[in-house]
């Protein structure tokens, strides 16, 4: 695959003369997939230089970033601590496929109430919380610090300058900021947030050096990890048509948004769109467990 981009051929695209390619960041690593792999590169280097022994980070119970940290720690000789949102999970994390896999990679957990968890950005709280733990390298939620964003700048390579639009899913916005930084100013970068409310605009501004970006805020499907039968159906038919598996939390919403916008003629004819498949496929197991409980149709693997 030249430059790692895969061409999608579907009638709804060719009818409008639109080219859609997918950057398969999901294939970078079997566990640390997509943007999380990018975010670790310079952070691991920095942790090594500092002589840190343990990576500590934050996330929800199904977080791609938590599992990625556990695996990256194991592969690179660091201990790992995952600070998990929700104290009720302490009793049932073994039933959670993400956390039990992270634990297999050697990650230890600290569970916090949602209220406590919200304080994690407060430096005084953090100092208190970390007291007594030594040789730590602390990564923020989602891995979106300056070094994480620097790693995400490498998602875009020189041959990607031929695209008119670059589209990506947005959680914390770190990945998008990296993509914006390495895009050409005449390219339009479009982000599809999966969270309903957030300070993304401010965050992306803080971390990016250009203003050639917009957010399409209609495709969150009710918020993080929320889904619908319509979205699952879309994922399954996209898989059938293209062979590409999407994840229910991020990339399904991204591609649903892109196709909805194409249908509504939001992209000019002859647009050349690059969509970033940021990975996250580990989340499917847990989502299918939830869907099965509710007797809803499942994501086909
Ligand atoms: C974490 C993640 C994102 C969001 O990345 P941010 O940098 O937090 O915006 C997008 N897609 C997948 C698959 C992810 O795991």
Residue 166, SS3 per DSSP:
strand
User: Measured in angstroms, how far is the CA atom of residue 190 from the centroid of ligand 1?
Assistant: 14
pLDDT at 250: 97
The per-residue pLDDT of the chain, averaged, comes to 95
Residue tagged 């022994």 (tokens): 53
Q: How far is CA 268 from CA 64, 219, 273, 276, in A?
A: 34, 20, 11, 20
16 and 49 fall within a common domain = no
Q: Between 47 and 209, name the one with better pLDDT.
A: 47
User: Measured in angstroms, how far is the CA atom of residue 59 from the centroid of ligand 1?
Assistant: 12
Whether 193 is in the pocket of ligand 1, judged by its Cβ within 6 Å, is no
71 and 190 fall within a common domain = no
Residue 301 pLDDT more than 80?
yes
In a domain, 172, yes or no: yes
pLDDT band with cut points at 50, 70 and 90 for residue 1: very low
122 and 270 fall within a common domain = no
End-to-end CA distance of the chain: 22
Residue 60 pLDDT more than 90?
yes
Range of the domain at 286: 5-30+146-293
Q: Which of 41-55, 194-208, 220-234 has the lowest mean pLDDT?
A: 194-208
119 and 153 fall within a common domain = no
pLDDT at 202: 82
Q: In degrees, to the nearest 5, what angle opens at C-alpha 289 toward C-alphas 66 and 74?
A: 25
Over residues 5-56, the pLDDT tens digits come to 999 999 999 999 999 999 999 999 999 989 999 999 999 999 999 999 999 9
Query: What token pair was written down for 260?
Result: 């909805």
Residue 92 pLDDT more than 50?
yes
User: Measured in angstroms, how far is the CA atom of residue 108 from the centroid of ligand 1?
Assistant: 23
Q: Work out the average pLDDT over 136-160.
A: 96
- Total length of the chain: 301
Name the domain boundary from 143, 177, 193.
143
Quickly count: other Cβ atoms within 10 Å of residue 95's Cβ.
11
39 and 170 fall within a common domain = no
In a domain, 113, yes or no: yes
In a domain, 301, yes or no: no
C-alpha R_g of the chain: 19
pLDDT at 225: 85
CA–CA gap between residue 144 and residue 140 (Å, rounded):
6
In a domain, 151, yes or no: yes
Q: Work out the average pLDDT over 180-197.
A: 94
pLDDT band with cut points at 50, 70 and 90 for residue 2: very low
Which residues are 170's β-sheet partners?
193
Q: In degrees, to the nearest 5, what angle opens at C-alpha 252 toward C-alphas 71 and 187?
A: 95
56 and 125 fall within a common domain = yes
193 and 112 fall within a common domain = no
Name the domain boundary from 88, 110, 143.
143
Query: What token pair was written down for 278?
Result: 């940021």
Residue 197 pLDDT more than 80?
no
Residue 17, SS3 per DSSP:
coil
Over residues 67-76, the pLDDT tens digits come to 999 999 999 9
Which residues are 192's β-sheet partners?
169
In a domain, 300, yes or no: no
pLDDT band with cut points at 50, 70 and 90 for residue 3: low
In a domain, 257, yes or no: yes
In a domain, 267, yes or no: yes
183 and 58 fall within a common domain = no
Burial class (CB in 10 A: 0-12, 13-18, 19+), 278: buried
pLDDT at 196: 84
Per-residue burial over 44-59, b if 16 or more Cβ lie within 10 Å, else e, is beebeeeebebbbbbb
137 and 54 fall within a common domain = yes
Residue 146 pLDDT more than 70?
yes
134 and 150 fall within a common domain = no
45 and 66 fall within a common domain = yes
β 5-8/19-24 pair status: antiparallel
In a domain, 246, yes or no: yes
Helical axes 174-182 vs 200-207, angle rounded to 10°:
40
Name the domain boundary from 92, 117, 143.
143
Q: Work out the average pLDDT over 156-176.
A: 97
User: Measured in angstroms, how far is the CA atom of residue 147 from the centroid of ligand 1?
Assistant: 15
The count of domains in the chain is 2
Residue 163 pLDDT more than 70?
yes
CATH code at position 118: 3.40.50.1100
Whether 282 is in the pocket of ligand 1, judged by its Cβ within 6 Å, is no
User: In degrees rounded to 5, what are phi and psi of residue 138?
Assistant: -100, 125
63 and 138 fall within a common domain = yes
Helical axes 283-293 vs 97-104, angle rounded to 10°:
150
The closest of 232, 230, 218, 245 to 301, measured between CA atoms, is 245
Whether 171 is in the pocket of ligand 1, judged by its Cβ within 6 Å, is yes
């Amino acid at each position: 695959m030249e430059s790692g981009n895969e061409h999608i051929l579907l009638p709804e695209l060719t009818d409008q003369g639109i080219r859609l390619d997918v950057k398969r960041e999901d294939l970078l690593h079997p566990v640390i997939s997509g943007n999380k792999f990018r975010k670790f590169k310079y952070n691991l280097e920095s942790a090594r230089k500092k002589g840190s022994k343990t990576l500590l980070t934050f996330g929800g119970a199904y977080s791609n970033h938590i599992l990625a940290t556990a695996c990256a720690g194991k592969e690179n000789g660091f201990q790992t601590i995952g600070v998990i949102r929700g104290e009720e999970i302490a009793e049932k994390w073994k039933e959670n496929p993400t956390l039990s896999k992270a634990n297999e990679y050697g990650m230890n957990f600290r569970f916090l109430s949602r209220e406590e968890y919200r304080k994690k950005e407060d430096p005084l709280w953090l100092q208190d919380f970390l007291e007594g733990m030594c040789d730590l390298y602390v990564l923020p939620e989602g891995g979106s610090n300056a070094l994480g964003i620097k790693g995400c700048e490498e998602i875009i390579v020189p041959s990607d300058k031929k695209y008119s639009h670059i589209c990506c899913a947005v959680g914390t916005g770190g990945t998008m900021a990296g993509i914006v930084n390495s895009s050409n100013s005449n390219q339009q970068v479009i982000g599809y947030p999966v969270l309903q409310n957030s300070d993304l605009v401010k965050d992306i501004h803080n971390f990016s050096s250009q203003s050639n970006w917009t957010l399409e805020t209609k495709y969150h499907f009710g918020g993080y990890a929320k889904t619908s039968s319509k979205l699952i159906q879309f994922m399954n038919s996209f898989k059938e048509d293209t062979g590409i598996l999407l994840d229910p939390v991020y990339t399904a919403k991204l591609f649903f948004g892109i196709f909805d916008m194409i249908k509504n003629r939001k992209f000019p004819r002859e647009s050349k769109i690059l969509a970033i498949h940021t990975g996250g496929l580990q989340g499917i197991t847990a989502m299918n467990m939830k869907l099965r409980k509710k007797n809803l149709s499942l994501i086909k693997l």
